[in-house]
Amino acid sequence: MADAKVIPFDDDRSRARRRPARPGRDAAVRALPGQHGPEETSKGPEPVAEPAPGPQGVEAEPDAADRRPVGAGWERRLAGGLAFLRRRVTGEYDVDEFGYDKELTDQVLMSLVRPLYEKYFRVEVKGIENIPAEGGALVVANHSGTLPLDGVMMQVAVHDNHPAGRHLRLLAADLVFMLPVVNELARKAGHTLACAEDAERLLRAGEVVGVMPEGFKGIGKPFSERYKLQRFGRGGFVSTALRAGVPIVPCSIVGAEEIYPMLGNAKTLARLLGFPYFPLTPTFPWLGPLGAVPLPTKWTIQFGEPIATDGYSPEAAEDPMLMFNLTDQVREQIQHTLYKLLVQRRSVFF
């Protein structure tokens, strides 16, 4: 890893299954044989309808739902949960070479962030079909919001909405892997260091990889520059897509800019803490921990038309003019979609 070539996604050297609907089960309520209400007792029993005959005069059997015990659903969930815990304790679970734990992500991590996605930010997803059903693809998105919640919400959007059940593997800055606890959770959730070699290996393995080329310049920009894309680096993500021969899917995220309106940056404090910036918002740090609660904005995530790269020769990845043109094309498509979504939205919060 030490010799890996770093994709210059930014100047700070930072390198879905559609959830099946869970309808409630309607329990069939039946009267006990011979049980009558007070009025029925005085009047005598009402005539009981005979069961409808089957196709050949045989009484129709109750369906599987009627024969199922009332608590069967909870029993299966409990059994599944206990089996999950047993595998965790005994170590009988799989992780890939990057540390991605699919079972933990599907059953635990996604469940933890899903209420934020569905109830708090009420994310609306468009164009999910533009992510291919199979094979590698590079999703390139704008980055904003002071804290990188937009990457997590994009990951849930792909996981829960893609008809082929794709999973998004995000490329993250090296700072993510220096923070305790966050480091382990990021690895388990499928994030990996944003270097060219790891990104290309994931793409060649048929994974959907997500990258936000603005890096810290995008996520830490002031509120006055909201929805204005920062520089996309030198086009390292385009070079990686060209070498792997995978399509580039532009992604535009609206709503993240307003969750922490960044009015200032305490640069001296940021240098002391080793952070790229230290945000000053209307609530943070003035309200303490309460100021870290994001505003409940309404989000829209739109995946645009993919840009094919498989028609280029392998040598095209070394052509700086081609990389510049493709980088500019991706950036312009994201920026244009951002403006269009901003015009369409009714309110920041609704």
Position 203 scores a pLDDT of 97
> Which tokens is 1 given?
């890893």
Please, what's the b/e burial string for 23-41 (b: 16 or more CB within 10 A of its CB; e: otherwise)?
eeeeeeeeeeeeeeeeeee
Position 264 scores a pLDDT of 95
Single out the residue of 299, 189, 316 nearest to residue 252, CA to CA.
299
Position 93 scores a pLDDT of 82
Single out the residue of 35, 66, 68, 69 nearest to residue 51, CA to CA.
66
The pLDDT tens digits of the residues spanning 312-336 come to 987 888 899 999 999 999 999 999 9
Collapsing DSSP states into helix, strand and coil, what is residue 132?
coil
Single out the residue of 217, 240, 212, 198 nearest to residue 152, CA to CA.
212
Position 154 scores a pLDDT of 98
Q: Alpha-carbon distance 209 to 199, whole Å?
A: 7
Position 90 scores a pLDDT of 83
Q: Alpha-carbon distance 192 to 171, whole Å?
A: 5
Collapsing DSSP states into helix, strand and coil, what is residue 77?
helix
Quick one: 350 exposed, middle or buried, by C-beta within 10 A (0-12, 13-18, 19+)? exposed
6 close to 15: Cβ distance less than 8 angstroms: yes
Quick one: 120 exposed, middle or buried, by C-beta within 10 A (0-12, 13-18, 19+)? middle
Position 25 scores a pLDDT of 36
Name the phi and psi angles at 77, rounded to 5.
Answer: -65, -45
Position 69 scores a pLDDT of 54
Task: Tell me the DSSP string of 154-214.
Answer: HHHHHHHH-TT---EEEEE-GGGGGSTTHHHHHHHTT-EE-BHHHHHHHHHTT-EEEE-TT
Please, what's the b/e burial string for 280-289 (b: 16 or more CB within 10 A of its CB; e: otherwise)?
bbebbeeeee
Position 156 scores a pLDDT of 97
Position 78 scores a pLDDT of 81
**Residues paired with 265 in a beta bridge:** 279
Position 40 scores a pLDDT of 40
Strands 124-126 and 300-303: parallel
Position 67 scores a pLDDT of 52
pLDDT in single tens digits along all 350 residues of the chain: 444 444 444 444 444 333 444 443 333 333 333 344 444 433 444 444 444 444 444 444 444 444 555 456 788 878 878 888 888 888 788 899 999 999 999 999 999 999 999 999 999 999 999 999 999 999 999 999 999 999 999 999 999 999 999 999 999 999 999 999 999 999 999 999 999 999 999 999 999 999 999 999 999 999 999 999 999 978 889 999 999 999 999 999 999 999 999 999 999 999 999 999 999 999 999 999 999 999 999 999 999 999 999 889 878 888 999 999 999 999 999 999 999 999 999 999 99
CA distances from 138 to 104, 176, 211, 213, 251 (A): 24, 20, 7, 12, 10
Hey, what amino acid is at 206?
Answer: G
Q: In degrees to the nearest 10, what's the CA dihedral of 124, 127, 133, 138?
A: -100
